[in-house]
Amino acid sequence: MKKSILFTILILCLSFTARGDDKHRHQLARQLSIYNSIIKELNLFYVDSIMPEKMIGKGIDAMLRNLDPYTVYYPEDKNEELKMMTTGKYAGIGSIIRYHTGRKSTVIAEPYEGMPAQKAGLKAGDLILSIDGKNTVGMSSDSVSDMLRGEPGTKLTIEVERPGEKSSIKFTIERASIALPPVTYYGIYKGNIGYILLESFTEECAKQMRRAVVELKKEGATSFVIDLRSNGGGLLDEAVEIVNLFVPKGKTIVTTKGKIKQSNEIYKTKSEPIDTVSPIAVLVDGQTASASEIVAGALQDLDRAVIIGERTFGKGLVQSTRRVNHGGYLKLTTAKYYIPSGRCVQALDYSHMIDDGKSTRVPDSLTNVFHTASGREVRDGGGIRPDIEPKSEELSTLLFYLVQDMALFDFATDFCIKNKSIAAPEEFSISDSTYDEFTAYLKEINFSYDLQSAKILSNLKKMIEFEGLGEITKLEIEALEKKLQSNLDYSLQHFSEDIRIMLATEIIKRYYGQKGEIIYNMREDIDLKEAYRILNDNDGYRKLLTPQKTE
């Protein structure tokens, strides 16, 4: 407790060296004094003993949440999380795990190829019963994950329950340094297009990207698709280097502006590019953020690529890490970034949060017009707007529950027990007989789900009754209630195409890993099909990158 108070006093003393006027410093000192006084009184007089680390830790987290979601404190025991975010590396067994609600335990969802979990023999569907003798049933997947991680070279014993086996199985696994590849897959698509899936901006991802481009050009690629969908970003320097692969040396890619001089920087391309002429399509979606938006936005502003997909997330903030006392780190927002046209893509205004703690979104009516290198109009705020937005259907409520309740996952596990092999990802599909087995399986486990429309109708009914209109709308409401009753047979038939695709995806990765899953999904990818169309239409591609005259 004394250490906590001394730490608070130290912060108070250091605060007087911070920049700002006297009034601001006086307010800061006053509030820190109040905080210190409250901690002291609680420690002396509260009926039970308080735990300083837990109490102050929660206070720090609550304070930082008042700023933005990206400013986070990592105490010494959580430094590995920060390291993994920036490097993509951690020490463990190398597997995706999920909490199985129905079994109330964590399961192996996908062992990474070539990693300790796979080498030891763990399979998707294995239910983790214990780790080093400690029962993990009912434990959260985060807690299980912490137990699986450790120093490289150390060993652990995992006991699992495997579907189809009568007794549990124990595996002794040696932890290793796990480096998740930022470039998950690259290959030739339909003869002449080099497809590259980039999932993160961790250390050396630009080198992997360069290698992919060079090898694809050797294989005959004359144009490229860079897939940044669901890529939440990462290191800014790596983003600049990736843009540098396709644009000349000396181009300004991004500018950062913050409160202090050290936060104001201009990032330019430093090397000679490897390809400035091949057409490029960049695929984005609502989860494309941060460094991903720098790459997509810079290539758009420099008229070097066509952007295809959904509007991106809109994160125009830059974070830096600062070492704090006792081995911890503070990751904090220190600047905003601006791409070549001069625009900032930040969509949410964290300085004006509404009553429930949510931030307000910049409305399109208040965004400003900027121009690309050729003069095309682009806007700030609200992320990167694609040049082409293919229409994609929303996933149904049924599909959400099939994934959430792990019905697809469990059926795939059972399928793998019965089938030793399947066709290649380029050819595999769910047969009618397999789909019939799946529908029978759902009925066998009494699968059910709630229609969102039925929930909305229930709330509407309550409002109608509250307003005294129940009697005159009774017949209509009852008719709607009957029609909205969940009809599983109808839904399984109506959404069969989408269900077959998701079921096939789950099955394929059991046999061919992540690479097989990617290859299969490319077959039905609407955005990728649109990219293929525009990259093979020279006139259409050039037209998209040329300013259009308006009357």
In whole angstroms, give the CA distance from residue 551 to residue 543. 17
Is 349 annotated in the active site? no
Of the candidates 188, 238, 248, the one whose C-alpha atom is nearest the C-alpha of residue 216 is 188
Q: How far apart are CA 290 and CA 350, in angstroms?
A: 16
CA atoms within 13 A on the CB side of 127: 21
Give the dihedral sign, CA 233/238/241/246: negative
- Look up 315 and say whether it is catalytic: yes
Among the listed residues 105, 285, 303, 315, the single catalytic one is 315
- CA atoms of 337 and 342, how far apart (whole Å): 9
- Dist. CA 350–CA 373, nearest whole Å: 31
Query: Do 338 and 257 form a contact (C-beta atoms < 8 A)?
Result: yes
Write the CA distances from 356 to 65, 70, 483, integer angstroms.
12, 18, 36
Distance CA 14, CA 33 (A): 13
Helix, strand, coil tally for the chain in percent (to 5): 40, 20, 35
What are the angstrom distances between the C-alpha of 276 and each of 224, 279, 379, 516?
12, 9, 25, 31
- Residues 76 and 53: their CA atoms lie apart, in Å, by 12
Q: Which of 290, 292, 380, 509 is catalytic?
A: 290
Distance CA 430, CA 81 (A): 39
Please name the residues in contact with 384: beta carbons below 8 A apart, sequence gap of 6 or more. Answer: 284, 288, 293, 296, 297, 300, 307, 311, 312, 345
The angle formed by the CA atoms of residues 13, 17 and 22, to the nearest 5 degrees, is: 100
- From CA 109, how far away is CA 502, in angstroms rounded? 15
Selecting among 301, 380, 387, 410, the annotated active-site residue is 301
Question: d(Cα 398, Cα 484) in Å, to the nearest integer?
Answer: 13
Are 336 and 316 a contacting pair, CB within 8 Å? Answer: yes
For residue 248, give both structure tokens.
């000349």
Residue 392 among the catalytic residues: no
Q: What are phi and psi of 93, to 5 degrees?
A: -105, -15
Taking the CB of residue 345, how many other CB atoms lie within 10 A of it?
31
Cite the active site residues: 290, 301, 315
